Amino acid sequence: MSPMSAPTLRLLQTADLPAYKVLRDTGLLHDPQAFTSDYETTHAQPASAYGTRLGQPPQDHFTLGAFAAPVGDAPPELIGAVVCEREARRKVRHQASLLGMVVAPHARGQGVGRALLAAFDTLARQLPGLEQIVLSVTASNLAAVRLYEQAGFQRYGLLAKALKIGDTYYDKALMARTL
Residues 28-85: tens digit of each pLDDT: 999 989 998 988 888 889 888 888 787 766 578 899 999 998 888 888 899 999 999 9
Task: For domain 8-178, give the CATH superfamily.
Answer: Gcn5-related N-acetyltransferase (GNAT) (3.40.630.30)
Look up the pTM and report it: 0.89
Average pLDDT, the chain: 91
List Cβ neighbours of 73 (8 Å cut-off, separation of 6 or more). Answer: none
Which positions ≥6 away from 59 have C-beta within 8 Å? none
- Measured between alpha carbons, how far apart are the two ends of the chain, in Å? 32
Q: Does 130 score more than 80 pLDDT?
A: yes
Per-residue confidence (pLDDT) for residue 71, from 0 to 100: 80
C-alpha neighbours within 13 Å on the C-beta side of residue 96 = 27
Question: What is the DSSP secondary structure assignment for residue 8, as one 8-state letter?
Answer: E
